[in-house]
Amino acid sequence: MTTSSLGKIAVVGSGAVGCYYGGMLAEIGADVHFLMRADLAAVRAGGLTIRTQGKTVHRQVQAHATTAEIGPCDLVIVALKTTANASLDELIPPLLHERTAIVTLQNGLGNEEYLATRWGAERVLGALCFVCLNRTAPGEIVHLDHGTISIGEFGRGLSPRLEALAAALQRAGIEAHPVPNLVTERWRKLVWNIPFNGLAIAAGGATVADVLADPVLRAEARTLMSDVLDGARRLGHEISDEFADFQIERSASMGPYRPSSMIDWQERRPVEIEAIWGEPLRQGQAAGAAMPRLSLLYALLQRLTHTDLLKP
């Protein structure tokens, strides 16, 4: 299938993740429209720049102030943080026609369910992005490492629209995989997100390199992964211990990468506490997993982020 078969695409949440995946699709000719707020004037004037794997992608893109300006689309990519989900009730409806698909790139658990209850499960897909990205200036994204994305249907197996989206991302130079079980992939992503995003905050601003270099933090990261594996397995998602070890080892190439939750915390923005730590803990414990280290980390993060946001 060609890129044009994706039809008109809207990116809702044009931060580092939304701009990277949307920008790479635009680079191969997809009809991509970006909802932008803070970066709108800069991108309209100077375009979008993505520095990736030794090359620079720069192009003028279709940037809009409202979803009403964008209008109905064939595919909506949701890349907002889960802390902004309440705004989707206003943002999504102008983008829909009767066959519009919605794919969420958000972290954690519960995202597809949130969309499905509002706009129908038949529309919803989810994607898990394992990628190191930073927004370094208005309209400028730096791709530091990795880039894999796994995409699945919500509550369904493989489909033509899923395979078309994965194929388009592959043509854009992104390692994209259509997957038959989206929820299992969400738990696989949590194996990394829970320890590295969480310890980055709990340790006062530790980068990935800091966590790996400190024997105590590295051991804690692996123990947290074991908690996640236990919860996942009790819910029917078989993920091997070797996968957790692989995540530790592959993280070495990230260097002093600042996980996105740590950046939100340092810049005094809301952190995705419930989606990334709270909901996996609740689901795992309901299935019989103790998850003691995750329970402690969740409590610490609740306190740290709440206290920080209350400071003048």
Per the domain annotation, does 216 fall within a domain?
A: yes
Q: Are residues 173 and 297 in the same domain?
A: no
Give whole-number Cα distances, 247 to 29, 161, 192, 250, in Å: 34, 29, 7, 5
Q: Are residues 14 and 154 in the same domain?
A: yes
- As a whole number of angstroms, the distance between CA 301 and CA 148 comes to 27
Q: Are residues 206 and 227 in the same domain?
A: yes
Of 132, 148, 180, the one marking the end of a domain is: 180
Res 310: pLDDT: 43
- As a whole number of angstroms, the distance between CA 83 and CA 274 comes to 9
Q: Are residues 66 and 80 in the same domain?
A: yes
Of 159, 180, 201, the one marking the end of a domain is: 180
Backbone angles phi, psi at 47, to 5 degrees: 80, -175
Q: Does pLDDT of 54 surpass 90?
A: no
pLDDT digits 0-9 by tens, 98-155? 999 999 999 999 999 999 999 999 999 999 999 989 899 999 999 988 788 999 999 9
Rounded average pLDDT over 282-310: 90
pLDDT digits 0-9 by tens, 239-272? 999 999 999 999 999 999 999 999 999 999 999 9
Q: For residue 241, is it left (φ>0), alpha (ψ between -120 and 50) or beta?
A: alpha
Q: Check which CATH number belongs to the domain holding 261 and give it.
A: 1.10.1040.10
Q: Check which CATH number belongs to the domain holding 7 and give it.
A: 3.40.50.720
Helix and strand numbers (H, E) in the chain are 14, 10
Q: Are residues 176 and 102 in the same domain?
A: yes
- As a whole number of angstroms, the distance between CA 247 and CA 258 comes to 16
Res 5: pLDDT: 79
pLDDT tier at 311, thresholds 50, 70, 90: very low
Q: Are residues 9 and 115 in the same domain?
A: yes
Q: Are residues 16 and 132 in the same domain?
A: yes
Res 104: pLDDT: 98
Res 2: pLDDT: 52
Per the domain annotation, does 312 fall within a domain?
A: no
Q: Are residues 162 and 191 in the same domain?
A: no
128: tokens are 């898990």
pLDDT digits 0-9 by tens, 156-191? 999 999 999 999 999 999 999 999 999 999 999 999
Q: Does pLDDT of 1 surpass 80?
A: no
Comparing CA positions, the residue from 164, 263, 244, 248 lying closest to residue 212 is: 248
Q: Are residues 168 and 286 in the same domain?
A: no
Report pTM. Answer: 0.91
Q: Are residues 169 and 254 in the same domain?
A: no
Res 177: pLDDT: 95
Per the domain annotation, does 202 fall within a domain?
A: yes
Res 4: pLDDT: 62
232: tokens are 């996942």
208: tokens are 């990935």
Per the domain annotation, does 70 fall within a domain?
A: yes
Half-sphere exposure of 107 (CA within 13 A, CB side): 24
Per the domain annotation, does 287 fall within a domain?
A: yes
Q: Is 77 helix (H, G, I), strand (E, B) or coil?
A: strand
Of 180, 204, 224, the one marking the end of a domain is: 180
Q: For residue 155, is it left (φ>0), alpha (ψ between -120 and 50) or beta?
A: left
* H or E element in which residue 245 lies: helix 241-250
Rounded average pLDDT over 45-53: 93
Q: Are residues 132 and 218 in the same domain?
A: no
pLDDT tier at 284, thresholds 50, 70, 90: very high
What amino acid positions are annotated as catalytic residues?
Answer: 189
Per the domain annotation, does 121 fall within a domain?
A: yes
What 8-state DSSP symbol labels residue 255?
A: -
Residue 95: give the domain boundaries.
Answer: 3-180
Rounded average pLDDT over 46-68: 94
Per the domain annotation, does 311 fall within a domain?
A: no
pLDDT digits 0-9 by tens, 60-108? 999 999 999 999 999 999 999 999 999 999 999 999 999 999 999 999 9
Per the domain annotation, does 244 fall within a domain?
A: yes
Q: Are residues 44 and 67 in the same domain?
A: yes
Mean pLDDT, all residues of the chain: 94
Res 3: pLDDT: 61
Q: Say how many domains are in the chain.
A: 2
- As a whole number of angstroms, the distance between CA 225 and CA 297 comes to 12
Backbone angles phi, psi at 15, to 5 degrees: -90, -150
Res 307: pLDDT: 56
Half-sphere exposure of 104 (CA within 13 A, CB side): 27
Neighbours of 87 (CB within 10 A): 12
Neighbours of 299 (CB within 10 A): 12
What 8-state DSSP symbol labels residue 276?
A: I
174: tokens are 């992104």
